[in-house]
Amino acid sequence: MSDLVSYVILGLSRGLIIGLLALGLVLIYKGTRILNLAQPFFGLLGAFLCWWLTVEARFLPFTAGSRPRFAVAAVLALVLVGLNGWSLERTLFRKLRRAPRLVTLVASIAIAQGTLGIVTLLFNRNADQAEQVRIIPTVLRTNFVIGDLGVTGGDVQAFLLVPLIAAAAAIFFRVTRFGVAVRAAAENGESARLLGISVDRVAVFTWVVGSVLAGIAGILLSAQQGVLTATTLSVGFLVRALAAALIGGLTSLPGALAGGLIVGVAEAVIGGYFPSTIGLPETVFFAAVIIVLVFRPHGLFGTPEATEDKVAFVPSIRDLPAKLRESEFVPVLRRGSLLTVVVFAVAVSLASGSATNGILVNVVVYSMVAVSLTVLMGYTGVISLGHWALVGVGAFATANLYTKHHVPFALTVPLVVLIGVWLSVLLGLPALRIRGLYLAIITLAFGYAAELYLFKSDSLAEGQTGISIVPPKLGPVNLDDPSNRPLFMVGIVMLLSSIWVARNLARSGTGRSFFALRENEKAAATLGVGLTQAKLVAFGISGGIAALAGVLHSLNIGNVNSVEYPAFTSIILVSMVMIGGLGSLTGPILGAFLVFGLPFLVKFDNQWIVPLGTGALLLVVIVEAPGGVAGLLRAVQRRVLGRLVDIAEREERPDPEVPPPGAQPDLVT
């Protein structure tokens, strides 16, 4: 028996589960045009519920851990996951039916974070729970060996169950009236409505079934892998499922399954033949997804999407009334508040110790990333789900140039920024052909490939150990000062200069062309905006700022290591910018403080509170206050300015009821 056959069998059994996950993703996408990034986390929730009901729950019949108990538990867990999908559709996604795609994507990010937070809170709160070995029993206990490959009951389950589900889905969508209606509504909601198909019912159906499919995938996967941990289903499976869905065509249900098999087999074969190169399969997915999207945007089996919805979204923050806008207090207030914030930050830094200063430096790093994301997402409307990887590139470039190659620090910084610009432009090249959500998936795949391949490669990152970096002395400023204070001051300077760049960019002709293409690419092109040039410039500047943030981050963490740059952080960055208020520069910086500063400063940084809190906050912003923190700031600014202008006007013109002082002597006489 050749190696190839055993790799293929292994890959198929994994690929079936990836395909199942992708099937749910595509189903929800077809039914509602929402790309549900929470899909693998629904699977995680299902698997954990199933495990708990099988092993821990006291109220269920049959002995804990037995097969009949598992059967009951699996059904119950799937019902719960389905209910979860149902309630999410009814409470949240129904409200977002007509929202731009970026908003629904971010909403699904919020749900992903919230679900992860709930799973962590319920099952992974403390060290005891984290170390617990969780085993979901397999229904089939057959174990046999093909060649030198052990096939477990978990594998056989996948081989039996997934094709069965696929066949049932095929029959449902081809034969039944409701199945046809779902497909019709997916393709053209308005036409379907004219025929009396309820779009609401279709949306509920796809969310429930999509969630249940994710739950089944989660249970099957943990049975196959033997143990269940909080990382069993995470960004890795999200990237695989998205790759499968894109390769198969984001709108094709059979394509999703076929894509899953392709991804599974490719991973097993590549991993089998090149076991020493870590992250190679992930890098190949990244390349494959780009190639498929550039040459066949609708995937191998899908059909081109007829409707091009609006993807970009910038909340409209109400402008100041004309009277206030002209007031000379506007620049005074702006400069005053900036100065106050900077002075306050410096004061806090001087008054506190090295730990707090370390956190503050991190806030500055994330604030710079927020500025970088604002340039790309806020100004041009291009979604990036891989920005943390650009920061990682900056950090690794710093470590390599400064520590390994002894390049002077003053030269390292501009070089790193140039590398960031260059790589980001390179990443932007597919953006010239690929748009919207598809591009977002590419950036996510980039982040994942960078985490697993680039940041673990021997040449760039010294393998898994990472590179230590000793912050330099810049004249009188010792960045290696144990108090972290000088580092924070330098960080503030870096942040202010990136804000200055972004601000001036927004006011320049280039910036205006960004806004034009964000609102409507075709209209912008007819006005003579060079789309190619504008997009690449946006990517370049954004990448440069991100790399600069990477310089600061590398100095702060001391040891530049792949662990610091997980792909999931990039997704949280988007939440951060959204909470701050997309499109504004000051808002997202406060978003950075709220998400990455506050919980750590008040020592309330449990593993679950941060994702759960961020997710909840994000949902509040999406549904109730799309302007985010920036919107609230604008309201404050409006009131303060209004008061100031009132006072000024009262002082300028004398009160008409009091007679002028010169007139009084006349009255006396």
Partner 1 sequence: MIVLDGLCRSFGGRPVVRNVSFSVGPGEVVGCLGPNGAGKTTTMRLLLGLLRPSGGSACLGGPAGYLPEVFAAYDGLSVRAYLRFVARMKRLPAATVERALDAAQVREIADRPVGRLSKGQRQRVGLAQAVLGEPPVLVLDEPTIGLDPAQVVEARALVRASADAGAAVLVSTHLLAEAAAMCDRVVVLVGGAVVAEERPGDAADLEARFLRLVATAELT
Per-residue interface string for the shown chain with partner 1, residues 578-617, x marking contact by CB under 8 A: ----------------------------------------
Choose between 177 and 405: whose C-beta lies nearer to partner 1. Answer: 177
- Left (φ > 0), alpha (ψ -120 to 50) or beta: where does 88 sit? alpha
Which residues, numbered 640-669, are part of the site for partner 1 (CB under 8 A)? none
Q: What whole-number distance in Å separates Cα of residue 382 and Cα of residue 583?
A: 12
Q: What whole-number distance in Å separates Cα of residue 553 and Cα of residue 89?
A: 39
Choose between 191 and 340: whose C-beta lies nearer to partner 1. Answer: 191
Give the DSSP letter of residue 321.
Answer: P
Q: Which of 143, 198, 303, 354 binds partner 1 (CB under 8 A)?
A: 303
Closest contact distance (angstroms) between CB of 521 and partner 1 is 23
The neighbouring-strand residues paired with 223 are none
Which long-range contacts (C-beta less than 8 Å, at least 24 apart) are formed by 474-483?
474/409, 474/410, 479/555, 482/354, 483/353, 483/354, 483/357
Closest contact distance (angstroms) between CB of 305 and partner 1 is 11
3-state secondary structure of 482: coil
Choose between 197 and 437: whose C-beta lies nearer to partner 1. Answer: 197
Query: β-strands 559-560, 467-468: how paired?
Result: antiparallel
Q: What is the DSSP string of 133-146?
A: ---PPPS----EEE
177 contacts partner 1 (rule: CB under 8 A): yes
Closest contact distance (angstroms) between CB of 206 and partner 1 is 18
Choose between 191 and 526: whose C-beta lies nearer to partner 1. Answer: 191
The neighbouring-strand residues paired with 145 are 150
Choose between 183 and 512: whose C-beta lies nearer to partner 1. Answer: 183
Closest contact distance (angstroms) between CB of 302 and partner 1 is 12
Choose between 127 and 175: whose C-beta lies nearer to partner 1. Answer: 175
Nearest Cα to 440, choosing from 42, 106, 177?
106
Q: Which of 306, 410, 658, 667 binds partner 1 (CB under 8 A)?
A: 306
Q: What is the DSSP string of 223-283?
A: HHHS---TTSSSHHHHHHHHHHHHHH-TT-HHHHHHHHHHHHHHHHHHHHH-TTSTTHHHH
Per-residue interface string for the shown chain with partner 1, residues 251-290, x marking contact by CB under 8 A: ----------------------------------------
**Which pair of tokens denotes residue 338?**
């900036």
The neighbouring-strand residues paired with 560 are 467
**Which pair of tokens denotes residue 186?**
């997916």
175 contacts partner 1 (rule: CB under 8 A): no
**Which pair of tokens denotes residue 596?**
């990455």
Whose tokens are 């150990």? That residue is: 465
Per-residue interface string for the shown chain with partner 1, residues 179-218, x marking contact by CB under 8 A: -xx--x--xx-xxxxxxxx---------------------
Choose between 189 and 436: whose C-beta lies nearer to partner 1. Answer: 189
Closest contact distance (angstroms) between CB of 298 and partner 1 is 12
Q: What whole-number distance in Å separates Cα of residue 154 and Cα of residue 16?
A: 12
Closest contact distance (angstroms) between CB of 442 and partner 1 is 27
61 contacts partner 1 (rule: CB under 8 A): no
Choose between 302 and 381: whose C-beta lies nearer to partner 1. Answer: 302
Closest contact distance (angstroms) between CB of 303 and partner 1 is 6
Choose between 307 and 669: whose C-beta lies nearer to partner 1. Answer: 307
Closest contact distance (angstroms) between CB of 177 and partner 1 is 6
Binding segment toward partner 1, per CB under 8 A, in 53-61, 176-184, 480-488, 519-527? 176-184
269: CB partners within 8 A, 6+ apart: 4, 7, 8, 11
Choose between 194 and 663: whose C-beta lies nearer to partner 1. Answer: 194
Closest contact distance (angstroms) between CB of 173 and partner 1 is 13
Closest contact distance (angstroms) between CB of 199 and partner 1 is 11
3-state secondary structure of 46: helix
Q: Is 142 exposed, middle or buried (0-12, 13-18, 19+ CB in 10 A)?
A: exposed
User: Could you tell me how many residues of this chain bind partner 1 (CB under 8 A)?
Assistant: 16
Distance of CA 461 to CAs 41, 227, 510, Å?
Answer: 30, 30, 36
**Residues at the contact surface with partner 1, assessed by CB under 8 A:** 177, 180-181, 184, 187-188, 190-197, 303, 306
